[in-house]
Structures are given as structure tokens and as C-alpha cells.
Amino acid sequence: MHKIIILFTITILLFSCSNSSEQKSKQKITTAEQEPKQEVLLKGKTGTINTNKTSYTYYLPANYNDSVKYPVFIIFDPHASGDLPINLYKSYAEKYGYMLVASNDSKNGTDYQHINNIINSLLDDILNRLSIDTNRIYTMGFSGGARVASLMAFNKYLIKGCVLCGGGLMQNILSNHKVTILSFAGNTDFNLNELLELNKNIPDSFYHHLIIYDGKHQWPDSLTIEDAFYWTIFNEIRDGLRPLNKNYINEFYDKNIKLAKKTNKTNKLKAYYIYLKIYNFLKGLIKTDDIENELSKISKNSLYKKQVSEQKNILKTEQNKEQELMQNFVYKDTVWWNKKIKELAKDTLKNNNISQSNKRILAFLGLVSYMQTNTALRQNQILVAEKYDAIYKYVNPKNTEAYYLGALISAKQKNTGKVLKNLKQALLLGFDDLNRINNEPSFAYLSNNQQFIDLINNNYK
């Protein structure tokens, strides 16, 4: 199995959750014990629900009416920032008539039992509070949140489809419960290789597609994510869950066929992906003979074959480089790492496949150095943590977390000067979780330090 899957599985500890308490039917939960306190719901605006069991951000269409059943996306952010994807995607929820619900509880590092409880509490609450069409419930997640989304999708029989952004499925999560799977991967996302392998290995019995777009390891931009809404709408039409809407079909087709024809002049591989997207999205809804002919024609093209071969070779070389770099985390010092990272960064300035590969490698190193730093801190290996944090800063010199961790390491060494230097840099770069600073025991010895107090107070202003 690809090493990234193993990496996330070990670190995030998100495994299969039990669905023994859930009836394998699509009945709404109505017991008095589960009935949430009713609050005035905001319509056409972002809102938040907080109870003693669950917390989530939501968006309801402006015309929301309790007498109408609406489809819903249940969304998981890796940092429990539910407002982030809601605010990114609410315009399409409004346009296409979907509700969005995003957990403020689920985040990377949460153990499987807690995740199970979060999923159950969230689902129970929204089924009672919102007017949901239980035939049209979808999950969506980014990075570690994508794995939680897949976990929920394959363990809850109410879920019809799953949208994975920058992260794959949980280990061995595929089941007899057939959900649709739409995946997104940026061309500089370090999880691109994993998602390519996943899409290739998903059984044909699952309706699935992978979209590769210009982007890095982050939530897809608002323009890219519109395909998630098209995907669900077209699947609902095929399944008889909504009436045929030729406007949506024509809108999607015209936009993508124009792009495919333009791209086909210079990039056969990218054009093939676009034609394949048109086919997978619209098969059964329109005549696809012309699309199939284009796919067949491109697949026989010598340039396409060359580009496919180049992609395979680059991805294979990339995997080998990452394996070698993983070993060097232990054996090489920070001087070596500084030089190596500068070499990789220099080759990212060009706009070609090698540049994209190096960007993915650097992003991968950023993730690994962050994880290694945290692991060393938990094990109280302060000098090791200091080395890994230095690598983290080389890779991501503008990452606030690298400097916050640097401050934490320095605090454990009682090096006040370096604590203040790292915290100041973190704050200058945009670190704003002041509660995290104030609640961190390692900073307690600085509670009467005037420079520390001034640094924090000035940030409040």
C-alpha cells in the first residue's frame, strides 16, 4: 500500500467506526432523547449550531422551507474549521439547492472512538433539526477530513455519495454499500499519487471519477468544486431522484467540451482527462458517441502515449525520492537538509512536470517534518524535535505552525529569547490562536514576563 496511506493511518488513527446502533434503513431518528433543542435557523447565511453533543457550521438555501426535503453535504475539515469549506462553497449550495453542514469537532489526530461519536452525534442532530432528503445525503472532506468522510460514507447506509479532496479512503473501507466516489487532487498535491492509485483500483461496481486540477494540498477552489455539485446532480437524475435539467447538462457540457478541444492542441493527456470527465459525468444522460470517439482517438496518439509514460516515470521517481528523503530525516543534519531543500525549491520555478513533482515532494516533506516534530515533542525528545522543526521551517518558511512549534520547543528548554523570537514570527505571519498560547503549560513560566505579555496583548489590538 502507498506509504502516504500508511502515514496518515498511523498518525491520524481514524479507523472503521461501528454502525451497530444504526438501523440499516432510511428512517428519520425521532426519539425524545435525541431531539435537539430547536433554534431559529439562518437562511441564506452561514450559521452555527452548538449543543452538548455536537458543533457544526451550516448553510441553508435562502428559500429553505421545512415542508421541502433538501439534499445535504456533510463536510469534514482536517482542523475542525467548519466555516472554511462552508464559506468557500455556499454560493453553489445556493445555486443548486443543497444544504451544507461542516463539523467543528472532527480533526486530525482524533482517535477512532471519538470520531465515531462525532459522526453519530452530528448525523442524529441534523436528521432531527433539518429537513433532509435521506435519499440524497453526501459526505465531503479534505486531507484527513476526506478519510473521515469516507469512513462515514461506508459505515452509514444513509449516505449516497462521497467527495474526497486531497485525501483517500480509510484502509480497507470499501464495503458492499455502493456509494459514488468523486475525488479531487491538485497537480502539486503530495497525495496525487495516492489518489491516482485509488481511482485505478476502485472496483468498477463503484461509480467513481478523479479530477486533477491546477492546485496544491488545500480545499479545491470555489470554481473547481462546482464539479462536485454537477456530479451529484447528474447521479440523482440518473437514479430518478430529481427531474432532468437540460440547462445544467448543457452548461456543464459546453464549458468542458470547449476546454477539451482547446487543451487537445497542446496537452493530449490533460485533454483525455477532460473528455473522460464529460463521459463519466454525462453517460446515460446524453449521447456520448462523439466523446468515446475522441477518447479512442487520443489514446492512440503518439504524443498522448509519450505523456502517459512520462507521468508514470515521474511519479515512480518521485516515490523513490520520497523514500530516500524519509530515511535521511534520521541520518542527515540540518546543513544537508537546508541545501537539499534549496535544490528542490530552485527546480519549482519552471512550469513543467518536474517542477510539479518537486512541489509535491516539498509539500510531502512539510507534512513529514511537521509530524516528526510533534512526535518528538510528545516523546520529550527536545533536540530531535528542534532538528525536525528546523527542516519544517526550511520547507515552509512562511508557515505559522513551524514557528509556534519552535516556540514550544524553546519553552521546554527555558530559552526565553528564542520563545519570544519564534512567537513573534508566528504572530507576524498570521498565527491567531491566542487561546492555544495562553493554555499551553510550557509557556506558564512566562506568565509574568513583560515581553511575553506585551507580545500577546499587542496581537489582540
What residue segments make up the domains of the chain, in order of their start? 3-243, 336-460
Q: Which pLDDT belongs to residue 12?
A: 36
What is d(CA 441, CA 278) in angstroms, rounded to the nearest whole number?
54
**Which one-letter DSSP state was computed for residue 28?**
P
> Cell 475522441 sits at which residue?
294
pLDDT over 70, % of the chain: 90
Checking DSSP bridges between strand 159-165 and strand 180-186, what pairing results, if any? parallel
Q: Enumerate helices (H) and strands (E) in the chain, giving the number of each.
A: 17, 8
Size of the chain, expressed as the number of residues it contains: 461
Q: Which pLDDT belongs to residue 236?
A: 97
Q: Which CATH number fits domain 3-243: 3.40.50.970, 3.30.420.40, 3.40.50.1820, 2.40.70.10?
A: 3.40.50.1820
| HEC readout, 39-79 | CCCCCCCEEEEECCCCEEEEECCCCCCCCCCEEEEEEECCE
pLDDT digits (tens, 9 = 90+) for 108-152: 888 889 999 999 999 999 999 999 999 999 999 999 999 999 999
Q: Which of 233, 237, 81 lies closest to 163, judged by CA?
A: 233
pLDDT digits (tens, 9 = 90+) for 55-90: 999 999 999 999 999 999 999 999 999 999 999 999
Enter the CATH code of domain 336-460. Answer: 1.25.40
CA separation, residue 234 to residues 106, 227, 294 (Å): 29, 10, 22
Q: Which pLDDT belongs to residue 22?
A: 33
pLDDT digits (tens, 9 = 90+) for 164-201: 999 998 766 677 678 999 999 999 999 999 999 999 98
Q: Which pLDDT belongs to residue 347?
A: 74
Q: Do domains 3-243 and 336-460 have the same CATH topology?
A: no
What is d(CA 231, CA 215) in angstroms, rounded to the nearest whole number?
20
Q: Provide the whole-model pTM.
A: 0.86
Beta bridge partners of 212: 185
Cell of 254: 459546453
pLDDT at 458 over 60: yes
CA separation, residue 199 to residues 57, 204, 311, 345 (Å): 30, 10, 16, 29
- Residue type, position 221, single letter: D
**Which one-letter DSSP state was computed for residue 130?**
S
- Residues 6 or more apart whose CB falls under 8 angstroms from that of 93 comprise 59, 61, 73, 99, 100
> Cell 514570527 sits at which residue?
425
> Cell 479512442 sits at which residue?
296
Q: What is the side-by-side strand order in the sheet with 70-76?
A: 46-50, 55-59, 99-103, 70-76, 132-142, 159-165, 180-186, 208-213
Cell of 63: 428559500
Please give the biggest Cα pair distance in the chain. Answer: 74
pLDDT digits (tens, 9 = 90+) for 370-381: 999 999 999 999
pLDDT-based confidence at residue 24 (cuts at 50, 70, 90): very low
Q: Which of 386, 379, 383 lies closest to 422, judged by CA?
A: 386
pLDDT at 34 over 60: no
